[in-house]
């Protein structure tokens, strides 16, 4: 995803989801969905030794692409984020988010819950180890539990 932060409290991103799908016949094929557009809003910045930071993300994906990742219709997602920082040099960040993904498919208006929990650990200088578990991926509509 390409991102631009016109203000300290705002980041605008455009991107897509890309990958390979494996069919029942054991064939693999390239799959993608794009564009995905989103805005991230920072309400309170995190600081080491102080309380967590809070934000929100609002975005949409379009029904364009190829293969399993191509959405069947427009989708809109939103989730709240919280981040706690540990260490003077942002050595460890712990993230959590919760929200929803509204699918505009066949006028059904499905609302799917989404949540995630992750961490970012400084390994060496500017290099970080990042991990996340999540359910109801807002970037791949209809992904279900991951």
In our burial notation (b when 16+ CB lie closer than 10 A, e otherwise), range 74-95 reads ebbbbbebbbbbeeeeeeebbb
Span 57-70, average pLDDT: 87
* pLDDT of the residue at 55: 97
Residue 43's nearest CA partner among 52, 34, 35, 31 is 52
Residue 57's nearest CA partner among 35, 38, 85, 70 is 38
Stated pTM of the model: 0.76
Give me the chain's average pLDDT, please: 86
Q: Which residue has the higher pLDDT, 3 or 26?
A: 3
Report the distance separating Cα 87 and Cα 118, nearest Å.
17
* Residue-wise pLDDT tens digits, 99-114: 998 877 766 667 888 8
pLDDT band (50, 70, 90) for residue 123: very high
Q: Which residue has the higher pLDDT, 85 or 101?
A: 85
Q: Quick check: 144 pLDDT over 60?
A: no
Report the distance separating Cα 118 and Cα 97, nearest Å.
9
**Coil, helix or strand for 68?**
helix
**Coil, helix or strand for 92?**
strand
Q: Quick check: 116 pLDDT over 80?
A: yes
Report the distance separating Cα 18 and Cα 102, nearest Å.
21
* Residue-wise pLDDT tens digits, 10-27: 999 999 888 888 777 778
Q: Quick check: 82 pLDDT over 90?
A: yes
Q: Quick check: 139 pLDDT over 80?
A: no
């Amino acid at each position: 995803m390409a991102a631009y932060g016109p203000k300290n409290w705002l980041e605008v991103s455009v991107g897509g989801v890309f990958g390979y799908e494996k069919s029942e016949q054991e064939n693999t094929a390239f799959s993608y969905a794009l564009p995905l557009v989103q805005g991230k809003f920072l309400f309170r910045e995190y600081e080491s030794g102080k309380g967590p930071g809070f934000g929100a993300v609002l975005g949409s994906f379009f029904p364009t692409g190829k293969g399993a990742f191509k959405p069947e219709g427009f989708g809109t997602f939103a989730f709240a984020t919280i981040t706690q920082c540990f260490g003077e040099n942002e050595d460890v960040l712990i993230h959590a988010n919760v929200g929803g993904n509204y699918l505009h498919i066949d006028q059904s208006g499905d609302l799917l819950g989404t949540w995630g929990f992750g961490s970012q650990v400084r390994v060496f200088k500017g290099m970080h180890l990042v991990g996340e578990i999540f359910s109801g991926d807002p970037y791949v509509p209809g992904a279900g539990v991951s």
